Amino acid sequence: MRGLGELESAVMNVLWEAGEPVRVRDVLERLDTGKPLAYTTVMTVLDNLHRKGWTAREQHGKAYHYTPASSREEASTRALREVLGSSADPEAVLLHFVASVSDEETELLRGALRKKRPHRR
């Protein structure tokens, strides 16, 4: 995910897959990074994600319960918007993207464009 480090992305994947609020301990138990992590490391990552606006949290007793602030699809859309917004030539970016998509993705894109409502000004 653009804008996130490797561990932050892994933590967000746990949150998106959980489907319910989770504690730091729950995230730690579900993380599969290939290396052992300290509880405090995961707690710091979740705190950073909260500060960056990626997570919401509610305190229950002494523990916070974390949820994603947006869906995986919304976060992906935000990342795409950032890429387009950072380019001096967004048309060229879109054209390169379209040239790279599979036949199946082309059909998905065509269907999405047919459903798109025009912007009202």
Residue 23 lies in a domain: yes
Residue 1 lies in a domain: no
Give the confidence band of 121 by pLDDT, cuts at 50, 70, 90: low
Residues of the domain holding 104? 72-115
Residue 44 lies in a domain: yes
Give the confidence band of 65 by pLDDT, cuts at 50, 70, 90: very high
pTM: 0.78
Q: Which helix (H) or strand (E) holds 66?
A: strand 63-68
Q: Which helix (H) or strand (E) holds 98?
A: helix 90-100
Return the top range by mean pLDDT from 38-42, 87-91, 99-103, 113-117: 38-42
Name the average pLDDT for the chain.
91
Same domain for 53 and 81: no
**Residue in 84, 52, 47 with CA at minimum distance from that of residue 66:** 47
Q: What is the percent of the chain where pLDDT is above 70? A: 96
Give the confidence band of 82 by pLDDT, cuts at 50, 70, 90: confident
Residue 37 lies in a domain: yes
Helical pair 72-86 and 6-18, crossing angle rounded to 10 deg: 140
Same domain for 63 and 10: yes
What whole-number distance in Å separates Cα of residue 115 and Cα of residue 98? 18
